[in-house]
Chains A and B, each alone.
Chain A
Amino acid sequence: MINVEGLRKSFGKNEVLKGISTKINKGEVIAVIGPSGSGKSTFLRCMNLLETRDGGSITIEGTDIQQMEAHLRKKIGMVFQHFHLFPHLTVLENITFAPLQVLKKTKKEAEHAGLDLLNKVGLAEKAHAYPSSLSGGQKQRVAIARALAMNPEIMLFDEPTSALDPEMVKEVLQVMNDLAKTGMTMVIVTHEMGFAKEVADRVLFMDDGKLVEDSSPQVFFENPNTDRAKAFLEKVL
């Protein structure tokens, strides 16, 4: 579905991605793991054109993503570490904003779908609350619902639980787990090793701008192929 070939990206003199190549198949759940500064987030952001790449190619079903900007946004949903909910809009308005403005849905349709999504993430009663009154975990669940409201085919998660208090992490992972079960294609940059092990179909291990290891969670967590992955796992597990 997504084909990444020799992806390169630099910030000034600092080369952050040094030629990443991989394929992501429809319905796969990919965990991207690695030390901070390894380029995981940049890799994710390049797939959504939040960063423009310097080299290589990214294609979705054969079309380069740079040729499909407006359409790309509808295909790919993104969830950020710091939620980025719109603070001046209510929870429901946050969710219906893009469907109303971009997909030109009617208010009734958008609100109906929005409430349905809020139900799925367990926050229907917060529909008319403002983001500032929500906990971190609730905010992130709203952010997931907001991304899903555009009916994306692929969901990108950029460290979705890293900014949360420990007791909030589980509720967000639960929502993501439910989503994975629906067959959504997901790419998740995460430090939650337990979650990656349990939910991911594949683990991409990145270090220093390179894709060091691409294997199943069983292989990666129990018997990693590379020394670098071994060293990393020893530190975090």
Chain B
Amino acid sequence: MNLDFAQLVPSIPYILYGIWVTLQFVAVSLVLGFLLGTVLSFFKIGKVRVLRWFADAYTSVFRGTPLILQMLLIYYAIPQLTGVDIGAFTAGVLTFALNSAAYVSEIIRAGINAVDKGQKEAAMALGIPYRTMMMKIILPQALKNILPALMNEFITLTKESAIVSVIGALDIMRRAQIVGASNYAFFEPLLLAGLIYYLLVMLLTIAGRVLERRLAKSD
């Protein structure tokens, strides 16, 4: 066994730049996935049957098929069908946002259902309109309860983002592989990539704890 980290040193900035790519990718997917997931959860608890059916079918499909299959479909199929080349980054973001929305919608739905129904009755008795009630009374309470589950989903998203390396997006994972291939030494760059992912997840975990503590101020 001969590990040579000195050989890796010139490539470190190249790999580190992947953090920026991964972060951009994760942040955009996370926000889009969360917004779409919220809308889907409203569909699920709403009274309109078509929307309820749509949201259930949506969740079922995106949870029921492999993420990498969804990504390859979006990356290769959209250009095939429309002639528009959407690029690896866009295809990746689209896949992850759509996929994450399915999971997030289930988490939020459960959170909303867990809020005491007396809250809704109190809001109704005060004449508070449905939208305001959902956005300002029910959802804040639901979010507080589901924060750990949401953080879990965000952490999964961050790690799973490494799959975009398959379609050639230059994220941390892809860069580590490229460096490994050009040096004929994979252990060192992959170890570095692993360390970076771990630190990113730790940062997310800490951010989640801080947020949780801030939301707990009313307890």
Contact = CB atoms under 8 A, between A and B. Distances in A.
Interface in B119-172: 119, 121-122, 124-129, 132, 136-137, 140-141, 144
Contacts, number: 65
Contacts of B219: 130, 132
A196 interface: no
A50 B121 contact: yes
A80 B122 contact: yes
B186 to A, nearest CB: 50
A86 B127 contact: no
Contacts of B119: 84, 86
Given A88-B144, A130-B218, A132-B218, A101 B124 contact: no
Given A130-B217, A130-B218, A132-B218, A86 B124 contact: no
B127 A98 contact: yes
B127 A87 contact: no
Given A101-B132, A130-B217, A86 B137 contact: yes
Interface residues of A, number: 28
Contacts of A130: 217-219
Interface string A185-201: 00000000000000000
Contact of A80 (B121, B132, B140, B218): B121
A208 to B, nearest CB: 25
A70 B125 contact: no
Interface in B85-134: 116, 118-119, 121-122, 124-129, 132
Interface string A62-102: 00000000100110111010101111110000000110011
Interface residues of B, number: 21
A77 B219 CA distance: 27
Interface of A: 48-50, 70, 73-74, 76-78, 80, 82, 84-89, 97-98, 101-102, 130-132, 143, 146-147, 150
Interface of B: 116, 118-119, 121-122, 124-129, 132, 136-137, 140-141, 144, 215, 217-219
29 contacts: A50-B124, A50-B125, A73-B124, A76-B125, A77-B125, A80-B125, A82-B118, A84-B116, A84-B118, A84-B119, A84-B121, A84-B122, A85-B122, A86-B122, A86-B137, A88-B140, A88-B144, A88-B215, A97-B128, A97-B137, A98-B127, A101-B128, A101-B136, A102-B127, A102-B129, A132-B219, A143-B122, A146-B126, A147-B126
